[in-house]
Structure 1
Amino acid sequence: MSNEVLAVVAGKEITNAELDAFLQNAPREQQAYVTNPQFRQQYLEQLISLHLFAQAGEDAKLEETEEFAKILENAKRDILAQLAMRETLKDVTVTDEEVAAYYEENKQQFTKGETVSAKHILVDSEEKCTSVLESITSGEKAFEDAAKEVSTCPSGARGGDLGEFGKGQMVKEFEEAAFAAEIGHVVGPVKTQFGYHLIKVEKKNEASVAAFDEVKEAIKRNLIQQKQNAAYNAKVQELKEKYLQK
């Protein structure tokens, strides 16, 4: 229950609701553990310590010091500024129509380069690579079986499958050979810094524009950010004219 009293420090009750609010300040990566009893107990101990030190500061009349007054003044300024900025940005929205219009007007931004889907076999010498190629071209072994048997790349366990990749994702020599290869043909040996490769291209995909559904959320976030920046800058200018003394 939210009003359950978990501890009492100098007559002040620490409730479950206060602990829940305190837990909201836990790092994002720890938020998944806020219902864990042991985790909550650790934060309860921190909260109790916070109350203990606050009480000690009160007993020492630290709130009467100049330092306390200065910190309090700065905290008040920061809180008021945050609330005012939130008020400025609260009504910033982006409609579905705006998102769709941006997509149509800026399709060049969402062009995906050509890609290939390929498999490869990696070995440490040109002689071994040539030998494996001969066993594949003769029909003695399937490319995928050879990859599982001899490839030193972790992809060997998947029959050499590298999935789909675009330009700039592989080393230059490998990329050039893969994009130049005919679908279904095994090319190699191709030498790279990693060794010698045999490459089998399974599929080629021409450059295309990403579908609207793929990018609409990213567009919306971008437009909201732009509108928030504009609203913020406009408000700053307005407040400068009102309050800034020249």
Structure 2
Amino acid sequence: MGFHKLVLLAATCCAFGSGAWAQEAVSAETVVARVNGEAITLGHMLLVRESLPNEYKSLPDRQLFDGILEQLVQQTILSQKSSAPDSLQIRLTLENDRRLMRAARMIEQWSEQPISEGAIQDAYEAAYSGVDQGLEYKAAHILVETEAAALELIEKVNAGEEFAALARDFSTGPSGPGGGDLGWFGKGMMVPPFEQAVIELEVGEVSKPVKTDFGWHVILLNETRAVESPALEDVREMLVEDLRRAAVEAEMAILRSQADIKLFEDPQIDPGAVKNFELLSQ
């Protein structure tokens, strides 16, 4: 039964008073219901809530509480009614889930270790101090539909006509009314053919016709400037995350080197077997 149906059902059959636990402290071990003697705790409900889609998490507290509780009550009834032993799929799923949660907790503990200011400063200097950050380019272009039109415009520029005026008169791109000005941009901000053409230009030089998916471009490189390194505070969060990730990877490498790992490479096993979900039902 979908969660939305359980919520509706709970609205009519779960009439718990809002102050039931108001006068006593609650914990994850607080029992909220018993089904044939089997306890359902607040902790069970918290885990269900965390697994819900966001639209359900934002439901009013009473509706959410009653819906989750009714879902767990129904699941407990069905689980108790089932006399069949756990299938291979259920057993392996539980093993994987337990493994995943325990591993995630270890990673969380490693990630909670404080990162010193000195380590952050060292990481910043390694990434940016004395490192060439490349160039930014200030260019203008004229976009037309054909190579012939682009060649004709290049002739006009070479004959002394103003590039910006030609862009306003002939460019089909959105920058045309502004004289074709594209402002400042760095590597990766333009499509590859356009970017490569700009990189190869000298300041003040006009390109040959450049073909992209947008059409044909005539490009004028106006200026270049060195990219400035970002301030430490602007990249602090990124550096801390990188340091935490590196610390986790280092801890993992140590544990892996100490573990007794045997990988069984059976030549009889086709690697494609990892896609055969039907094996779980055999």
Relative to structure 1, the CA distance from residue 67 to residue 120 in structure 2 (aligned partners, 3 Å threshold; closer, same or farther) is same
- TM-score by length of structure 1 reads 0.61
Relative to structure 1, the CA distance from residue 202 to residue 26 in structure 2 (aligned partners, 3 Å threshold; closer, same or farther) is farther
Q: Does 1:128 align with 2:149?
A: yes
- Hey, what's the Cα distance between the residues in 2 that align with 1:141 and 1:73? 67
Q: Does 1:164 align with 2:187?
A: no
Runs of 5+ unmatched residues, structure 1: 242-246
Q: CA deviation at 1:74?
A: 2.5
Aligned with 1:58 (options 49, 66, 80): 80
Where 2:115 maps in the other structure, the secondary structure is: coil
Q: CA deviation at 1:23?
A: 3.7
Q: Does 1:199 align with 2:222?
A: no
Q: CA deviation at 1:126?
A: 4.0
- Percentage identity across aligned positions? 21
Contact 2:111 2:245 in 1 (8 A): no
Q: CA deviation at 1:188?
A: 4.4
Deviation string, structure 1 residues 132-173 (Cα, Å, up to 9, x no partner): 563895459735533xxx434455476534443345654447
Contact 1:173 1:190 in 2 (8 A): no
Q: Does 1:95 align with 2:116?
A: yes
Where 2:184 maps in the other structure, the secondary structure is: strand
Which stretch shows the higher mean deviation, 87-96 or 169-178?
169-178
Q: Does 1:25 align with 2:37?
A: no
Matched with 2:133 is: 112
- Hey, what's the Cα distance between the residues in 2 that align with 1:122 and 1:165? 18
Matched with 1:176 is: 197
Q: CA deviation at 1:112?
A: 1.7
Q: Does 1:232 align with 2:252?
A: yes
- Hey, what's the Cα distance between the residues in 2 that align with 1:26 and 1:72? 19
Runs of 5+ unmatched residues, structure 2: 1-9, 16-32, 261-282
Contact 1:189 1:198 in 2 (8 A): yes
Judging by fraction of residues, say which structure has more helix.
Answer: 1
- Equivalent residue letter for 1:95: S
Judging by fraction of residues, say which structure has more strand.
Answer: 1
Match runs of 1:183-222 below 5 Å? 183=204, 187-194=206-213, 195-206=215-226, 208-222=228-242
Deviation string, structure 1 residues 49-97 (Cα, Å, up to 9, x no partner): 56424312212345xx354994697278437734762575255221121
- Hey, what's the Cα distance between the residues in 1 that align with 2:197 and 2:223? 15
- Hey, what's the Cα distance between the residues in 2 that align with 1:228 and 1:192? 46
Matched with 1:145 is: 168
Q: CA deviation at 1:116?
A: 0.3
Q: How many aligned residue pairs are there?
A: 225
- Hey, what's the Cα distance between the residues in 2 that align with 1:125 and 1:80? 60
Deviation string, structure 1 residues 195-223 (Cα, Å, up to 9, x no partner): 43222334311255444334333222111
Matched with 2:23 is: none
Matched with 2:273 is: none
Relative to structure 1, the CA distance from residue 125 to residue 220 in structure 2 (aligned partners, 3 Å threshold; closer, same or farther) is same
Where 2:236 maps in the other structure, the secondary structure is: helix
